Chains A and B, each alone.
Chain A
Amino acid sequence: MPSITFVHPDGRAQRIDASNGESAMQAATRQDVNGILAECGGSAMCATCHVYVDEDWLARLPAMGDDEDALLDGAAAERQANSRLSCQIQLGADLDGLVLRLPDRQT
């Protein structure tokens, strides 16, 4: 069971346990992490589950698809080189300890 840490804009770290195979967005909404809105529920439509991936982890994530790339352009907070959509990050043992920073806004 991978555990992941969300870092809020105020610096507060929130560690949650996720299930293998669920996305970081699903784990976050299931455990009510404020700052992950996920309006479309994982249908890759809304860009409201935007996260900044901790630099140490960035290279360990699979490359983003064209859809995610296009969606990130519409994210409410500034897009950065380490921006990803948490609905596209599937969690497994290899991502145990993943650190994701939350943007200051999602809409």
Chain B
Amino acid sequence: MSATSRTDSVTPEHGVPASVPHLGVDPFSTEFFEEPHPIHEALREAGPVVWLDKWGVYGVARYAEVHAVLNDPMTFCSSRGVGLSDFAKEKAWRPQSIILEADPPAHTRTRTVLNQVLSATAMKPLRSHFTALAEAKADELLARGSFDAITDLAEAYPLSVFPDALGLKQEGRENLLPYASLVFNAFGPPNQLRQDAIERSAPHQAYVAEQCQRENLAPGGFGACIHARADAGDITHEEAPLLVRSLLSAGLDTTVYGIGAAVYCLARFPDQLAKLRSDPTLARNAFEEAIRFESPVQTFFRTTTREVELSGYRIGEGEKVLMFLGAANRDPRRWENPDSYDITRRTTGHVGFGSGIHMCVGQLVARLEGEVMLAAIARKVGKIEITGPVKRRYNNTLRGLESLPITISPA
């Protein structure tokens, strides 16, 4: 990233440097959700830092600046909320997360616990079970032939593995996706999507609060492991349920959108499906590239803890900065042929899972689910055809589909 020494004149009314390019686009609008890429390009081309008039926030859409903001958590903090709402100015809609919405040193302690609960070591015993269920899912869907790839695959597969891995009871699981959708809508501005989600949230919030308690979590699952860390003194018994809540908030819907993105890519780009079929070991990278290409988590905010200069622009203290992860993942300054889905691409460094100390703590679970599901498809499915209207789902943070009717045939 190149930071220049230029100082901008500051307009006294707003404290916004006059030379920061102003854009009128609303990244939380239906228009944007339907077709974000031309707007991403406009945001990137306008400058390294932009000002979004609609919501009164700074924005960064180029890879270098997004990466820089993600990797300077003491300047661009999370404890004032990673949505538009500034917790220093207004009350959070739910008790604040003690990991996502926290800064070091508090964050370091809770993060260490989840890092260990969701570590590569913890994934090893899950692999064979996750693989068996992915293969069973592929067989079942091949027998059906035609189905909706979102509900019957992208949602059904994670629902068949993740809640059990967490140790959740069978009853009430229908609350999981609505709760996650609420959480991700709530990072957005006070638009209709957010307001509707919060208005309808009471039963989902009650379900989640209940499931985070120790007595509702099966032994051996991620949830029980978190509570055990409270016994060990690494976190308090009051903190344990809040860390379980993080897995309920961010552990399911994200993988649904990730697998949905990957299947949508393979359905649209048959040459890439053919490549994957000829070498199923590409499955893990095919999933990773889908995360880069579609960026299921599109945006997060940070808040400045001090006045800071970013690529020559001065940003005052207490300003919200919106990071466009999806735009960074297609920035031609960083990626060759950014708009092509290429399962052999070296995807290292994409920010679809974030970067730095807040990078998705469940990334290894997500990759495991994505890899084994795509590997099962690679081995068993010969052809994927889109057979009906593709419908987009609208969410303030997540990008994905409501419906993807497909027909598949065996290899």
A32 cross-chain contacts in B, Cβ below 8 A = 346
For A49, give the chain B residue with the smallest CB separation: B348
Give the CA-CA distance A73 to B356 in the complex, in Å. Answer: 21
Q: Which of B120, B122, B367 has the most chain A CB within a 10 Å cutoff? A: B120
B349 on interface, CB distance cutoff 8 Å: yes
A21 on interface, CB distance cutoff 8 Å: no
Q: Which of A29, A38, A47 contacts B120 (CB 8 A)?
A: A47
Given known contacts A29-B349, A38-B348, A43 and B119 CB-to-CB distance under 8 angstroms: no
Per-residue CB proximity of A62-95 to B under 8 Å, as 1/0?
Answer: 0000010011011110000000000000000000
Residues of A in contact with B (beta carbons under 8 Å apart): 29, 32, 37-41, 43, 45-47, 67, 70-71, 73-76, 107
A47 cross-chain contacts in B, Cβ below 8 A = 120
Given known contacts A39-B288, A74-B124, A45 and B348 CB-to-CB distance under 8 angstroms: no
Give the CA-CA distance A67 to B116 in the complex, in Å. Answer: 9
B115 on interface, CB distance cutoff 8 Å: yes
B359 on interface, CB distance cutoff 8 Å: yes
B195 on interface, CB distance cutoff 8 Å: no
Residues of B in contact with A (beta carbons under 8 Å apart): 115-116, 119-124, 284, 288, 346, 348-350, 353, 355-357, 359, 361, 363-364, 367, 371
Give the CA-CA distance A76 to B127 in the complex, in Å. Answer: 12
User: Main secondary structure on chain B at its contact with chain A?
Assistant: helix
Contact A41 B120 (CB under 8 A): no
Contact B363 A29 (CB under 8 A): no
For B349, give the chain A residue with the smallest CB separation: A41
Given known contacts A40-B359, A41-B355, A45-B359, A29 and B348 CB-to-CB distance under 8 angstroms: yes
A-B contact pairs, 6 of them (CB 8 A): A39-B348, A40-B363, A41-B349, A70-B115, A107-B284, A107-B371
Contact A45 B284 (CB under 8 A): no
For B119, give the chain A residue with the smallest CB separation: A74
Which 7 pairs from chain A and chain B are nearest by CB? A74-B120, A74-B121, A43-B359, A41-B349, A29-B348, A38-B348, A47-B120
Contact A29 B356 (CB under 8 A): no
A103 → chain B closest CB, angstroms:
13
Give the CA-CA distance A3 to B119 in the complex, in Å. Answer: 32
B119 cross-chain contacts in A, Cβ below 8 A = 70-71, 73-74
